[in-house]
Structure 1
């Protein structure tokens, strides 16, 4: 942390430490945009939390993030960029920061999208994906269908 604070000296960056519960929700909701540049995020809990707080997300199209923000939702509920393409990431952040209307509409859509998600639905989706994968594997291994 000390190294990061040194790198950001003189910039409007705040290092808050760890938040939980309502304090965490308020912190997310106070942001204008949430940037997630990780190329190896598997679940993307912070992306889910940001979207649920009505904050537009700009994230790398990698790991589990495209499962949270599928192609047909890009630009509607949040924005994805090509992993490693910092210029594209910055352009999308600037696009959101320069338009309050866009930021609000994307944030609203993100929150609405998250209202349709729950653990039961997510678990069912994962279960169905595992079943489909196992079925395909079995069919290829045995040469059978159905």
Structure 2
């Protein structure tokens, strides 16, 4: 099957099924950039012949990705917004995030709030969304670059509808704590304080050699006893 690059934001996102809605669908939403580690998906899809994948978004790496996935069950929709984006999330079975440089991971939260189980990399800000005590409950994490680890979490979700429902429901409930009030409170009370502490620590480390030097140069001369 060839990938379908004919979709655009003006067409129904239900076409993500690419004519095979019975096959499990992996969804990824985000900017298609080289820094997003999207070539990792090729290693995954080579071992999942029963699955499809939809890349939702656009970016400078799109053409290279389309060439990389030529002949595979992959769809590139371009940018989607509003209702179409919501439908795209709803059309998926599992959301996978391989990027190791995410800070906030908003698309992960969007997927979870849509009831879509997430398999994300254990890096960047993703573990803040799926902390250790929630792994296997609200989502799954895999070690960076480890395709075997990723597949060990992904395959059961793709093959077990009941498991997807359970994880997706728990994920949706978990995201309720990320409303605007909660997010603002976390930034103000935790992240700002952590940032201030971090930079004060770095400044102290930077100035320490200079402080030692000036103490050595300008220290008071020893007292002279004239008795």
TM value normalised by structure 1: 0.87
Q: Give 2:83's aligned residue.
A: 22
36, 40, 65: which one aligns with 2:101: 40
Q: Return the alpha-carbon distance in structure 1 between the equivalents of residues 65 and 197 of structure 2.
A: 48
Q: Return the alpha-carbon distance in structure 2 between the equivalents of residues 23 and 46 of structure 1.
A: 15
Which contiguous aligned blocks of 4+ residues in structure 1 show a shift greater than 3 angstroms? 132-138
Q: Return the alpha-carbon distance in structure 1 between the equivalents of residues 99 and 64 of structure 2.
A: 19
Q: Give 1:5's aligned residue.
A: 66
- Consecutive unaligned residues in structure 1, runs of 5 or more: 142-146
Deviation at 1:126? 1.8
- Please list, as runs of the form range in 1=range in 2, the aligned pairs for 1:1-146 lying within 5 A after superposition: 1-129=62-190, 130-131=192-193, 134=196
Moved more, 6-15 or 128-137: 128-137
Distance 1:128 1:6, change over 3 A: same
Deviation at 1:10? 2.3
Q: Return the alpha-carbon distance in structure 1 between the equivalents of residues 153 and 109 of structure 2.
A: 19
> Highest Rg: 1 or 2?
2
Q: Return the alpha-carbon distance in structure 1 between the equivalents of residues 79 and 86 of structure 2.
A: 12
Q: Deviations over 1:75-102 (max 9, x none)?
A: 1111001112111011111011111111
Q: Return the alpha-carbon distance in structure 2 between the equivalents of residues 110 and 83 of structure 1.
A: 22
TM value normalised by structure 2: 0.57
Q: Return the alpha-carbon distance in structure 1 between the equivalents of residues 196 and 64 of structure 2.
A: 46
- What is the SS of the residue equivalent to 1:128? helix
Q: Which has the higher helix share?
A: 1
Q: How many residues align?
A: 139
- Consecutive unaligned residues in structure 2, runs of 5 or more: 1-61, 205-227
Deviation at 1:122? 1.1
Deviation at 1:132? 5.7
- What is the SS of the residue equivalent to 1:59? strand
Deviation at 1:135? 6.5
Deviation at 1:72? 1.1
- What is the SS of the residue equivalent to 2:119? strand
